[in-house]
Structure 1
Amino acid sequence: MLVNRRIYKDGLPAAGPVSIVDIDGVLSDASGRQHFLFGENKEWWNFFEAAIDDPPILESVRLVKELTKNQIVILVTARPKRLTEITTNWMDQNGIHWDALEMREDDNFTSSSDVKREVLHVLQSLGYEPQLAIDDDPRNLVMYQTEGIPTVYIHSGYYE
C-alpha cells in the first residue's frame, strides 16, 4: 500500500493527464553500476546508492521533455524511498523535468511491475489520467499495456 512515498517538486499537481516515466535505464544510465547485480548475491543497496554518479541519457531526457511538455510528469521508480535525496539531487543536477516522484517503500521487495501497478492504481484513484508510460523493463511495459496505458520502450540493455 502506498504510504507517504509521494514526493512533489513544486507542490501537489492538479489531477488530470499525466505521463509516467521510469528513471533507471530511461533517464539515468545505470550501466556503470550493473556489476552489483551480477551473480547469485545481488547487491541492490549498493546498486541504488551508486545512482548519484549516473550520467543522464540525454536523448531520453530530451524525448521525455518533448513528449510531456503539456503534461504532468510522474516519475515512478523501483528505487527504495531511502534514496529520495540521492534521486532528487541527481534529477536537479541533470535538469530532469518532473512534477512528482513515486518510490518503493524500503521494506517492499515485490517485483517492479507489482510496485508500479500499485502506484498506477493509486494515481488513477486520485484522479490522475495516465496517457503514456515510458520504461525500459519489458515486464513493466506489458503491465502498463494490460492496464490500457500506451507505452514507449527505451532500450537500456539491462534485460537481455
Structure 2
Amino acid sequence: MFSRNHISFFSQFMRWIISSIGILKTIADENDFTVEGEHSQYDANLEGKWRPWYHIYSFCKAGKVPHTPIINPVGKYVIRLYYLGCWRKFLIDDLLPVDYHGRIMLPVSSNKGELWPMLLCKGLLKIASNFWNKRDDLSGFQPISCLTGWVCEEITNM
C-alpha cells in the first residue's frame, strides 16, 4: 500500500499515521465495520468495505452521484475527518512539501498514480497541528478516531 520513503523512517508521527491507515484497511479487508454516523456511504463502494480514499472529495462533480475519488485539475480537495465529536470537512490543496533533495515528505503510495495517501496525511496534519505543544506531545490526537469516529482508549501497563 505504501512505498518506502525517507520520511517514514525518521518521523514517528508519519509511522503512526501509516500504521493507523494500514490497520484499518486490514480490518476492513477481513470484516465489515461501522463508521460513526455513517449509514450507506460505504454500501455503494466495494460492498461496504472501508477505504481511506473515501474521505477525499475533489469538487469535480456536483449533485447526488456516487462518490468516486478523482483528480481535481485545480488542485483543491475536501478531506472529511471526524474531529471534536462530528464529521468535519477540511479544505486542502495538492501542493506537497519536499525536502532539500526534492523528495516528498509525506507517505506515498506504491502505485505512482495514487494521490490519496499524501492528501489524507495533509488533512490529518491539519488536525494534529491543533494538538501540538512545546514538548512535541500529541496526546489527544488519534488518527483512527479521525478516520472512523471511534473513541480510542489508551491502555497502559501498571
| TM surpasses 0.5 | no
Q: Report the TM-score when normalising by structure 1.
A: 0.26
Higher strand fraction: Structure 1 or Structure 2? 1
TM-score under structure 2 length normalisation: 0.26
Q: Counting helix residues as a fraction of each chain, which structure ranks higher?
A: 1
Q: Which has the higher contact order (CA 8 A, sep 6+)?
A: 1
